[in-house]
Amino acid sequence: MPETIEQVPHEAEADLHVRHHFANAEQQMEASTLGMWTFLITEVLFFGGMFAGYAVYREMYPAAFAATSEFMNVEIGAANTAVLICSSLTMAMAVRAAQLSKRGDLIKYLIGTLIFGITFLVVKAFEYHAKYVEHLIPGPNFHPEHLAPQFMHNAQILFFLYFCMTGMHAVHMVAGVGLLTFLLIQAYRNVFHAHYFAPVEMIGLYWHFVDIVWIFLFPLLYLIGHWHW
Amino acid sequence: MWASYTFLADLPFAAPIASKEAGDIDLLWWFLCAVSLVMTVLIFIGVIGFAFRYRAKPGVPPVQLHGHTALEVTWSVIPFLVMLVMFWWGTDLFFAAQSPPKDAMEIFVVGKQWMWKVQYPDGTREINALHVPVGQDVKLTLASEDVIHSFGIPVFRVRHDVVPGHYDSLWFRATKPGHYRIYCTEYCGDRHSQMVGWVDVLGENEYSRWASGGGSGGTLAEQGQQLFTQNGCSTCHLLNEQGRCPILKNLYNKPVELNDGRTVIADDAYLRESILQPNAKIVNGFEANVMPNFQGQLSEENVIQLIAYIKSLSPATTPSQVGVLPTKGPQVPAPGKKQSAATKATAVTPAPQQAAPQQ
Amino acid sequence: MATTYPTTPEAAAEEPVNYLNVEHGWKSWLFTTDHKRIAMLYVFSITAMFMIGGTFAMLMRLHLTRPEGIFAPETYNRFFTMHGVIMVFFFLVPSIPATLGNFFLPIMIGAKDLAFPRVNLLSWYLYIFGAIFAIYVVAAGGVDTGWTFYAPYSTTYSNSYVLSAAVGVFVAGFSSITTGLNFIVTVHKMRAPGMTWMRLPLFVWANYATGLIQILGTPVVAIALVLVAVERVMHVGIFDPNVGGDPILFQHIFWFYSHPAVYIMILPGMGVISEVIACFARKRPFGYEFIAASSMGIAILSFVVWGHHMFITGQSVYTGIVFSFLSFFVAVPSAIKVFNWTATMYRGSVTFESPMLYAFGFIGLFTIGGLTGLFLSTMATDVPLHGTYFVVAHFHFVMVGGMLVAFLSGIHFWWPKMTGRMYSEAWARFAALMIFAGFNLTFLPQFVLGYLGMPRRYAAYPPEFQVLNVLSTAGASILGISLVIPLIYLTYAWKYGPKAGNNPWGAKGLEWEIQSPPTTFNFDDTPTVTEEAYNYGEEVEEQRVA
C-alpha cells in the first residue's frame, strides 16, 4: 500500500543524534534497545516480589481473598483495562508514525496515548477515593462492611497488596505520562523521523510493559472470587 | 553412628559434648575440618610452591599453557564427590535432629523479649533455666510472644528459631550430668545478649528430688482446665455430648475432617491455631464464625496450658502427655486433690481420671 | 619496573592532556559523563563510607574486649547494624564494579565509554543520595535491626531509624541496578572489532556476570524494604503473625537478593585476581574458558541457594535438602577458579610486586572462607553454627579477606594507569603483609568462638570467651591501622609520585596500550583486536620497560 511519506531527512542527519561514544546510529539503537529490555527485566523482578507475596498469601487464605472480591468494582477495572489496551494501541501507532516520519500522526497518537493514560489514572483516583470512603485502606481505619469477621485480618493483607501493587503500577503510569509528555514536546519540535525514532520506540516498550503488568493485576485482584465453577 | 563420641569429647580442643547426637555432629564437624585442612594445605603448597619454584629468572621465559580439560574435570568432580559425602551425612543427621522420639518428655518454652519462660507438664515454671534428667529424651516445644528468637544449647548441638505465630521444636537426650549454657541466637532487640540461661542435667536421684516439688498452680493440664472454664470454652465444648462445637474428648492427634474436604491431624499446632485463629479451619458439619477469636487475650503460655488440658482428655499414649515425668511412678497428684475452688463451681466434670501411663 | 622520572622542569610541566587535566572545576566533575571521572568520584565516596563503616567496626571490637562490654547494649546494637549496612550496601556492593569496573570495562573492550554515560552519572548520584540517608541515620542515632532487617522486630518492635535506613538502602540499590545494566549493554554492544566474547579479559567476564546478578536480584530486596517500610508506617500486618502475616516470607524475599548479593561482593574481586595473576606470572590464565564459564555459573546458581540461610527457621526439611545440595553445587565453580589461578603460576615467571602479594593473600583467605561455607551448607553442622561467630568469621574471610583484598590488589595494579603515577612499592608490600597478619589475628579466633557457641550480635558474653575476643580486637587494631597506610601512600603518590609509563608492569591488555592517565575518549582510533587475551609470550620481557 503506497504511503505518502513526508520529507525524509537525509540519513546523515541521523548521525546528529549519535552520541560520541557510539560508532554509528545502528550501534546506538541496538544499545538503547537492549538497555530498555534489560531495564524492563529489572521491573519484572521488582513487581515479581509483590506477585510472590500475593501468591504466598493467596495460597494460605484462599477463602479470605475470594471474599474480598465483592469490594472490587469489576466494571471499573474492566473499563480501565480496556482504556490501557487502547493506549497501547495508540502507542504502537505512534511508534509506527515515527518510523514513517509522519509528524502529524505521531503527535496525534501520542496525544491519544496520553489521554488514555490520564483517563486510567483519573479513574484509579476515583477508585482509591471510594475505597478510602468505605474504610478499606489498611491501617487503623480499616473496617470493611459486610465482610465476614473471620476474614477481617487476612482481608487487610489482601487490601494492602491491592494498594501496594496497583499503587506501584500507578507510580509507573505517572512516570510514563511524564515520558510521553517529553516525547510530545520533542515530536512537536520535529525531532523524530525515519532515521531517528529510538526514544519513541523505547518509551513505547516501557508503556507496553506497564500495560502488561496491569493485565496481570486485573484478574488477580479483581476477578478472584467471581468465578463459580 | 558407629563411632562412640567419647573420644571426641576428650580431644583437648573440642567443645564440650553432652549428648550422643552432639557427638555425631561433632564427628561430622571434625571430618569437615580435616577436609578443609587438607584443601587449604594443598592450595597453600600449590601457591607458595609454584610462586617460588617458578619465580622470575632472567633468561627463563614462562611457558604458555592452554589449559587441560581432563584436569579441570577431575578437580571439579573429585571435590564435588567429597561434598556429596558432606551433604549426605549432614542431611542424615539433620533428619534425625528434626524427629523427636515418640516417648520424649515434653517441656514448653516460651520466648519473649528478653527471657525464656519454661513450663513443665507438672506445672513447674522456671525462667531462663531448664532441668532435665540424664538419659531421657526431651522435646522442647518453643513459642514466641513477640519477635523471632532462637533457642540453642551448644553442648547438645541443638538450636531452632522460635518464630511468632507457630510452634517450633527441638529434642535432645542428655548423657552427661552438668550445668550447660542456653543462648538466644537470633537478634531480638536491646537485651538479646541477656536472653541466656542454664540447663541442668541431673542424675536420676537428684532429678526426682528436684521434680517432686511440682508446680504450685497445679499441673499444666489443671491450669489449662481453669482457663477452659474461665474463658467460657466449656459452654460450647461440652465434654460428653455434642454441643455447637466439636467435641474435644479423644481428639488429640486424631484425624479431623474439615469442611473443605481436607483432613488434618489435631496436633499441637492445630490446637493452637484453633484457639487463636478459629476460622482458619472449620470442622466439617460445623459453622464458621461461632467461636470467638482469642488472639491477644491468651498468651502463648495460656495456650500451652489449654492444649495440655485438651491432651489430657485423650487416652495417654505417652507418659509426657499426661504430665507424668519419667521418674519412678507418676508425679501427678491424684484427681481431686489440687483442684482450686473455681473448678468445682461449674457444671464441667472434674479433670478425668489419669490413666496409668502406657509404657 | 618502568617509571620515568622527569629530568627537567620543562619535562615535568609538560604533561599530556588526559581525563584528569582536560577540564578543571567542580562542575566539570559533578556533571561529567566520562566513565573514568565517575569511577574516581566513586573511589572517593566509597572510601569515605568505608571509613565510617570501619569506625563502627573499631568501636565494636573495642566494646567486645570486656565481657560486659563498654557501651550500652542499645548502642552496641546500633554499631553492628550500621557497620553491616554501610559495609554491605555502601562499600562492598559498589566497590570494584563502580570504581575499577567503571574505569576499565570500556577500555578493556576497546570502547570510548559505557553504553549510557549519563545513566552512569545518575548511578553515582543515586549512591550519594542513599549514602546521605545512611549518614543521616548514623547522625540521628542509628538503626539496630541488624543489616538483615528481620521482621517482626524491624517492622513492629524496633525503636530506631528503620525507615530512613530502608530508604537509603533502597536508593543505593538502584545505583547498583543501573551500574549492572550499563555493564551488560556495554559488553553486548560496544566491543571493538575483533573483540569476541572469548577474547574478553576475565575482569570483563566477572563484571558482566556481576551485572546479571545486580539487575535480577536487587529489585527484589527493593520490594522487601518497601514492604518493611509500609508495614512500619501503616501496620497492615503483612509480616505480623497476629493478623495472619508470615515473618518467614520476609526472610525469603530478603535472602532471594541477599544471597546473590554476596556473589556481587566477590565475583568482581575474582576478576581482578585473574588479571593480576596473569600479569605477574606472565602467563595466560590456565583454563580461560573454565574461569569465564565459572563466573557465569556462579551468577546463575547464586539465585537458587538462598534457603541455606534459613535451615532452622522451620522451613520444610525437604526444602532445606534442595538448598543444601545446590549450595554445595555452587561451591564447585569457585573451587575451579582457585585451582586455575594456582595452575596459572605453574611454569610461569612469577614476580612479587604488591598487587601480586594481595592476590596471594586473596587465594589463601578466600579458600579458607569458602571452605568454612561448606560447614554452613551442611545442614547438621549449620544447626550449632548458625547465628554464632563462626558465621561472622566465614563471611569476613570471604568479604574482607576476599573482596577487600582483591579491591586493594586491583587499586594497586591499576593505580599507575588511573593516575599516571607510581606509588611506593616498599610501603605497599609492608601494608599488604600487615593487613594479612592483622586480618588473620582478627578473624581466626572467631571461628573458635563460634564453635564454642558464642552467638553473634551479642553486646555481652560469658567471661570464658574473653581471651579470644581480646585477641580478635588486637588483630582488628592492626588491621585498622594497616588499612590507613595505603590511603596515605596512594594519595601521596598521586601528587608526588614518579610518573608511570603506559605499561609499568609489562602487562597485556588494551588498557596498557593507551597513555597513563588515559585521555577522555580512551582511544584515538578504535582498536581492532587480532589476538587472544593474555597473549604473553617470549617477547614479554622487553615490554616490561615501557
Say which residues have a Cβ less than 8 Å from residue A54's Cβ, sequence separation at least 6: A161, A165, A220
pLDDT in tens, B95-128: 999 989 988 999 999 999 989 999 988 888 899 9
Q: Which of residues 247-276 of B touch C (CB under 8 A)?
A: none
pLDDT in tens, C196-229: 999 999 999 999 999 999 999 999 999 999 999 9
Answer yes or no: do B278 and A150 touch at CB < 8 A: yes
Q: How far apart are CA C471 and CA C473, in angstroms?
A: 5
pLDDT at A16: 73
Average model confidence (pLDDT) across chain C? 93
C95 contacts C406 by C-beta, under 8 angstroms: no
Length of chain B: 359
pLDDT at C376: 96
Same domain, B26 and B110: no
Higher pLDDT, C348 or C7: C348
* Distance from the B67 Cα atom to the nearest Cα atom in chain C, whole angstroms: 5
pLDDT at B355: 39
Answer yes or no: do C367 and B86 touch at CB < 8 A: no
In a domain, A64, yes or no: yes
In a domain, B149, yes or no: yes
Helix (H) or strand (E) holding C223: helix C202-234
pLDDT at A154: 78
In a domain, A26, yes or no: no
Answer yes or no: do C150 and B186 touch at CB < 8 A: yes
Residues of B with CB below 8 A from C242's CB? 164-165, 295-296
pLDDT at A227: 60
* Region of poorest pLDDT, from A45-59, B210-224, B308-322, C135-149: B308-322
Domain count, chain B: 3
pLDDT at B5: 58
pLDDT confidence of B330, banded at 50, 70, 90?
very low
DSSP B166: S
Mean pLDDT calculated for residue range C361-373: 96
Q: Is the pLDDT of residue C334 over 50?
A: yes
Q: Kindly report the CA angle at C183 between C180 and C184, in degrees rounded to 5?
A: 85
Domain count, chain A: 1
Question: Helices C202-234 and A25-60: crossing angle, nearest 10°?
Answer: 40
pLDDT at A59: 86
Residue of B276, B279, B291 to mutate when probing chain A, most A C-beta within 10 A: B279
Same domain, B92 and B158: no
pLDDT confidence of B319, banded at 50, 70, 90?
low
Higher pLDDT, B358 or C228: C228
In a domain, A37, yes or no: no
In a domain, C11, yes or no: no
Query: Residue B135: which CATH number?
Result: 2.60.40.420
In a domain, C119, yes or no: yes
B129 contacts B199 by C-beta, under 8 angstroms: yes
**A65 part of contact set with chain B, CB < 8 Å:** no
In a domain, C436, yes or no: yes
**A12 part of contact set with chain C, CB < 8 Å:** no
Q: How far apart are CA B296 and CA B233, in angstroms?
A: 16
Q: Is the pLDDT of residue B337 over 50?
A: no
Chain B residue nearest residue C365, CA to CA: B40
**A59 part of contact set with chain C, CB < 8 Å:** no
- Residue A84 is part of which domain span? 49-223
In a domain, A166, yes or no: yes
In a domain, C499, yes or no: yes
In chain C, the N- to C-terminal Cα span, in Å, equals: 9
The residue out of B211, B245, B279 marking a domain boundary is B211
In a domain, C20, yes or no: no
Q: Is the pLDDT of residue C540 over 50?
A: no
The residue out of B161, B179, B211 marking a domain boundary is B211
In a domain, B357, yes or no: no
In a domain, A178, yes or no: yes
DSSP C511: G
**Which grid coordinates are listed for C232?**
512500619
- Residue C81 is part of which domain span? 33-535
In chain B, the N- to C-terminal Cα span, in Å, equals: 26
pLDDT at B340: 38
pLDDT at C542: 41
Residues of A with CB below 8 A from B289's CB? 148-150
pLDDT in tens, B228-260: 888 888 888 877 777 678 888 888 888 888 887
Higher pLDDT, B232 or B185: B185
In a domain, A41, yes or no: no
**A41 part of contact set with chain C, CB < 8 Å:** yes
DSSP secondary structure, C225-242, as one string: HHHHHHHHHH---TT-GG
Answer yes or no: do A148 and B278 touch at CB < 8 A: no
* Distance from the A150 Cα atom to the nearest Cα atom in chain B, whole angstroms: 6
In a domain, C490, yes or no: yes
Domain count, chain C: 1
Three-state SS annotation for chain A: CCCCCCCCCCHHHHHHHCCCCCCCHHHHHHHHHHHHHHHHHHHHHHHHHHHHHHHHHHHHCHHHHHHHHHHCCHHHHHHHHHHHHHHHHHHHHHHHHHHCCCHHHHHHHHHHHHHHHHHHHHHHHHHHHHHHHCCCCCCCCCCCCCCCHHHHHHHHHHHHHHHHHHHHHHHHHHHHHHHHHHHHHHHHCCCCECCECHHHHHHHHHHHHHHHHHHHHHHHHHHCCCCCC
- Which of C247, C352, C374 lies nearest to residue B148, judging by beta carbons? C247
Name the pTM for this structure. 0.89
pLDDT confidence of C50, banded at 50, 70, 90?
very high
Query: Residue C466: which CATH number?
Result: 1.20.210.10
Answer yes or no: do B65 and C537 touch at CB < 8 A: no
Q: Is the pLDDT of residue B342 over 90?
A: no
Same domain, B44 and B125: no
Answer yes or no: do C378 and B190 touch at CB < 8 A: no
DSSP B332: S
Mean pLDDT calculated for residue range C516-542: 81
What are the backbone angles phi and psi of residue B188, rounded to the nearest 5°? -135, 15
Query: Residue A156: which CATH number?
Result: 1.20.120.80
Q: Is the pLDDT of residue B89 over 70?
A: yes
Q: Is the pLDDT of residue A110 over 50?
A: yes
Q: Which of residues 290-329 of C touch A (CB under 8 A)?
A: none
Say which residues have a Cβ less than 8 Å from residue A132's Cβ, sequence separation at least 6: none
Chain B residue nearest residue C279, CA to CA: B62
Mean pLDDT calculated for residue range B347-355: 38
pLDDT at B317: 58
Cα-based distances in Å from C76 to B189, C80, C479? 11, 6, 21
pLDDT > 70 fraction of chain C, expressed in percent and rounded: 96
- Residue B120 is part of which domain span? 105-211
In a domain, C361, yes or no: yes
pLDDT confidence of C384, banded at 50, 70, 90?
very high
In a domain, A63, yes or no: yes
**Which grid coordinates are listed for B209?**
528430688
Q: Is the pLDDT of residue A81 over 90?
A: yes
The residue out of B211, B234, B262 marking a domain boundary is B211
Chain B residue nearest residue A63, CA to CA: B280
Answer yes or no: do B35 and C371 touch at CB < 8 A: yes
pLDDT in tens, C257-289: 999 999 999 999 999 999 999 999 999 999 999
Answer yes or no: do A148 and B289 touch at CB < 8 A: yes
In a domain, B351, yes or no: no
Q: Is the pLDDT of residue C471 over 60?
A: yes
pLDDT in tens, C398-417: 999 999 999 999 999 999 99
Answer yes or no: do A31 and C237 touch at CB < 8 A: no
pLDDT at B162: 96
Same domain, B316 and B254: yes
pLDDT at B334: 38
Tell me: cis bond preceding B114? Omega within 30 of 0 counts.
Answer: yes
Same domain, B251 and B327: yes
DSSP secondary structure, C258-293, as one string: HHHHHHHTTHHHHHHHHHHHHHHHTS--TTHHHHHH
Same domain, B93 and B109: no
Q: Is the pLDDT of residue A229 over 60?
A: no
Chain A residue nearest residue B295, CA to CA: A153
In a domain, C545, yes or no: no
Average model confidence (pLDDT) across chain B? 82
pLDDT at A185: 95
pLDDT in tens, C56-104: 999 999 999 999 999 999 999 999 999 999 999 999 999 999 999 999 9
DSSP B61: P
